[in-house]
Structure 1
Amino acid sequence: MARYKVGDIVNTHGIKGEVRVIATTDFPESRFVKGQVLFIDTTPAVKVEIATVRKHKQFILLSFVDYQNINLIEKFKGTSLSIDGEDLQELADDEYFYHEIVGLSVKDNDSGQTLGKVKEILQLPANDVWVIQREDDKDLLLPFIEQVVTEIDLNQGVAYVNVLEEWQVDEN
């Protein structure tokens, strides 16, 4: 079964086994709850159950059942947290998981030209921004808004976009 990343353990917090987590999920309120089973992405992965959850500044502080001591948890700094694929939320028809978008080919609606592939997605306050990796050029940043991303075809592995005129670079 595939696993999907929901957060990064960036550090420990205190001596009682808490870790500082930065959420990488759109559903932190349902992913990080007492009793939720997660996997710490080490080799091999470690299955853990959340014992406590609380917010602290921009972090989510978690502790895990049977790991409530800094000496047991410190080795997990810098790792990711994931869930089983069967635990994914149901989404509306026009919503997508990041793992479905990253890797898509991106084509310009007007020219039909392939611009590159989605390398990563940046979560910004106004909207998400796709980082498009181009073959022989700098990365292109495209806002994930209706005027730009017009169609996503997961079956074909393609996203169709409008490249706005103001993004065009005049070579003169």
Structure 2
Amino acid sequence: MRAAYKNIARVVRPHGTKGEVLVAPLRGLPLLLTESMQVHLTPPALKRERTSTVESLSVTPEGARVRFSCARNLDDAESLAGCYVLASCDDFELGRLDSAVGDLLGRSVVDERFGDLGSIVEVMETPANDVWVLDGSSHGEVLMPVIDEVIVELPEEGAITVHIMDGLLDL
């Protein structure tokens, strides 16, 4: 049987000149990376190892600073920017992933212009990004992409603030 894998983070940008990168967790998850964890960086590059090991990890105000075994210098780190970090579900507590998604369910979502959009009733995983299914407002069911351009504020508790793209509510 093949192991199940999940995208758990995204490489934001290089940090410094020694191959470190800043990494952001996905879909409001806690940081699931740990030192010595084997990961896959997707999409794969022709001249890069397919698997990599988390050699060091530190949490800073900017985000998680990570050194992967496949990145030894600034050029290597730059090639990782935008990659997703894929990890085997066996390498982290699946309960942490489930509870993070579960914590989103029922949370209210408020748009800066349109006000209350309802609450999250489902989190759909798609290859590109997650989609929140919102329901319970005068707008009916709203499918909202979970991308940086839309999410304004995602506090640990309370309403989530978003900026809906033009035309999304007209569909």
Fold shared, TM-score > 0.5 on shorter chain: yes
Q: Which runs of 5+ in 1 are unaligned?
A: 141-172
- Report Cα offsets for 1:56-107 as digits up to 9, x if no partner: 3221111012533223332112222222345562235x92685459446555
Partner of 2:17: 15
1:71 to 68, 72, 75: 75
- Give the TM-score normalised by the residue count of structure 2: 0.56
Question: CA 1:69–1:116 in structure 2 vs 1: closer, same or farther (change >3 Å)?
Answer: same
1:89 equivalent in alignment to 2:94: yes
1:115 equivalent in alignment to 2:141: yes
Q: Which moved more, 1:113-122 or 1:96-105?
A: 96-105
1:36 equivalent in alignment to 2:37: yes
* 8 Å CA contact 1:42, 1:79 repeated in 2: yes
Root mean square deviation, CA, Å: 3.9
Partner of 1:51: 55
Partner of 2:113: none
C-alpha distance in structure 1 between counterparts of 2:154 and 2:30, whole Å: 16
Where 2:102 maps in the other structure, the secondary structure is: coil
C-alpha distance in structure 1 between counterparts of 2:38 and 2:29, whole Å: 17
C-alpha distance in structure 2 between counterparts of 1:32 and 1:106, whole Å: 29
- Give the TM-score normalised by the residue count of structure 1: 0.56
1:15 positional shift: 1.7
Larger gyration radius, structure 1 or structure 2? 1
Question: CA 1:105–1:62 in structure 2 vs 1: closer, same or farther (change >3 Å)?
Answer: closer
C-alpha distance in structure 1 between counterparts of 2:12 and 2:169, whole Å: 27
C-alpha distance in structure 2 between counterparts of 1:20 and 1:10, whole Å: 5
Partner of 1:159: none
1:128 positional shift: 5.9
1:26 to 29, 35, 43: 29
1:60 equivalent in alignment to 2:67: no
Report sequence identity in percent. 16
Where 1:72 maps in the other structure, the secondary structure is: helix
1:19 positional shift: 0.6
Partner of 1:6: 8
Q: Which runs of 5+ in 2 are unaligned?
A: 105-122
1:8 positional shift: 2.0
Aligned residues: 134
Question: CA 1:128–1:69 in structure 2 vs 1: closer, same or farther (change >3 Å)?
Answer: farther
Question: CA 1:18–1:138 in structure 2 vs 1: closer, same or farther (change >3 Å)?
Answer: same
